[in-house]
A = this chain, B = another copy of it.
């Protein structure tokens, strides 16, 4: 009963993993939801403009890089479906941060760009961007921070 060969045999008979108890707090989806909530809260406090949300910021940063983008392409670049993008763009346009014009080469498309105001604001916020990420990653040491970004890139 206690020799090694028998033990190995028993291992063969029950090859499945020990199957830890299922705890909702340990599931990746739950942890991602909580982490995202915390990241959004830190963004709101540290980005330097309480009226700009993370998705609005992402959109403005991308428009700042590309100068002009169709609404759909911008949505693909920042990971929002077209219905969500529609609302984000509408709010940015209402506030005068984004302009739009019909694409002269394709009447289906709307070309978006930052207004002068939008450029000014995004360049101000970009100065706080690194601090937001730093604060969010603060509980981790440098190696862990790199790991987390790497792992999130892989499952994103």
**A residues lining the B interface (CB < 8 Å):** 22, 24, 26-40, 42-43, 54-55, 57-58, 61-62, 78-79, 126, 129-130, 132-133, 136-137, 139-140, 144-145, 147-149, 151-156
**A149 CA / B42 CA spacing, docked (Å):** 21
Q: Which of B136, B151, B154 contacts A155 (CB 8 A)?
A: B136
| Contacts beyond the supplied A29-B136, A31-B156, A35-B36: 18 A-B pairs with Cβ under 8 Å | A24-B61, A28-B137, A28-B145, A28-B149, A32-B35, A32-B39, A33-B36, A33-B55, A34-B79, A34-B156, A35-B155, A35-B156, A36-B36, A140-B151, A140-B155, A144-B154, A148-B148, A148-B152
Contacts of A139 in B (CB 8 A): 154-155
In the complex, the count of this chain's copies comes to: 2
Within 8 Å by CB of A151, from B26, B37, B148, lies: B148
Q: Is chain A's interface secondary structure helix, strand, loop, or mixed overall?
A: helix
- Across the interface, name the chain B residue whose C-beta is closest to A24: B61
Known A24-B61, A24-B62, A151-B140; judge A40-B29 contact (CB<8 A). Answer: yes
Partner of A148, one of B28, B30, B33, B62: B28
